[in-house]
Structure 1
């Protein structure tokens, strides 16, 4: 109540408020607002449910933190476009920068090859996206065959 009384609502007393009912309604509104601001986070509600602390007990010696299954980390958003798989990097290294942009757009978003090509600025997105798709398949099969211990030995003339 003290914070509400010290608020800036007092300036409206002489300007537009005339009756006691209006003043009490305004004071009540400011009191509710200040109460929400001063209320601890763990006593608030979100979506009709009370917010719980991660350290809140679920059962003996088990807290909410122990049963939360979200494995996202803060750095995931920063490293979203980074590839750390060696086999993928080997295939991407054989693409031109424009083809690599299409492949990365296709891998990072839920789009078609044509849409990924359009995002990278290709003149004919359908044809270019299809070309990148076929090239990636061909390069992937070649790298898979080379990495296989049972890969056939190429003939002398090949």
Structure 2
């Protein structure tokens, strides 16, 4: 209230404002504005919900920061399409470009095989997504057995 009373609106008292209702309404607006500016951020609301600090406890020994922190690095988004594992590269090399696009879409985003195939432009996304899934499984098993000759060859599963 004190900050609102010391505001720059006091100069308008004698010129434009004549009635008590106008003065009270103006004083009320300035009081609300000052109250909002002096209110701590963690006591404010945004979109009808209270803003919470990242250090707010969620459970015993767990803060909000622990629950919502991503842990990702800024370069992860740029390097999403890059593969480093030679085993994965060997399996992907045996795929057609359209199949590889579906496999990459499925691996980098949260979606089903059908959604990945639809994103890749397949005519029948369900069938094509399942075909890519089965082919990747078959190629992965083949690559695993070829890289370690000591293990028995598993039966292919469709």
Give the TM-score band, short-chain normalised. Answer: 0.5 to 0.7
Query: In structure 1, how many angstroms separate the alpha carbons of the residues matched to 2:145 and 2:6?
Result: 73
Query: In structure 2, how many angstroms separate the alpha carbons of the residues matched to 1:45 and 1:129?
Result: 47
Q: CA deviation at 1:115?
A: 1.8
- Aligned position for 1:91: 91
Is 2:14 the counterpart of 1:20? no
**Count of aligned pairs:** 137
Q: CA deviation at 1:102?
A: 1.1
Q: CA deviation at 1:76?
A: 6.7
Q: CA deviation at 1:88?
A: 2.4
Identify the range of structure 1 (119-128 vs 101-110) with the bigger mean alpha-carbon deviation. 101-110
Is 2:50 the counterpart of 1:51? no
Q: CA RMSD in A?
A: 4.1
Query: In structure 1, how many angstroms separate the alpha carbons of the residues matched to 2:150 and 2:80?
Result: 33
- Consecutive unaligned residues in structure 2, runs of 5 or more: 57-62, 153-158
Query: In structure 1, how many angstroms separate the alpha carbons of the residues matched to 2:126 and 2:54?
Result: 50
- Aligned position for 2:128: 128
CA deviations over 1:23-67 (Å, ceiling 9, x no partner): 4344333433344345454x535655763669xxxxxxxxx7xx9
Query: In structure 1, how many angstroms separate the alpha carbons of the residues matched to 2:18 and 2:107?
Result: 64
Identify the range of structure 1 (27-36 vs 110-119) with the bigger mean alpha-carbon deviation. 27-36
- Consecutive unaligned residues in structure 1, runs of 5 or more: 55-63, 153-158
Superposed counterparts of 1:134-153, under 5 Å: 134-148=134-148, 150-151=150-151
Query: In structure 2, how many angstroms separate the alpha carbons of the residues matched to 1:100 and 1:90?
Result: 12
Query: In structure 1, how many angstroms separate the alpha carbons of the residues matched to 2:32 and 2:23?
Result: 14
Native 8 Å contact 2:106 2:113 kept in 1: yes
Query: In structure 1, how many angstroms separate the alpha carbons of the residues matched to 2:143 and 2:136?
Result: 10
Change (3 A) 1:127 1:71: closer
Secondary structure in structure 2 of the residue aligned to 1:137? helix
Secondary structure in structure 1 of the residue aligned to 2:122? coil
Secondary structure in structure 2 of the residue aligned to 1:33? helix
Secondary structure in structure 2 of the residue aligned to 1:127? helix
Q: CA deviation at 1:136?
A: 0.5
CA deviations over 1:69-103 (Å, ceiling 9, x no partner): 64523527625734545032332233233212211
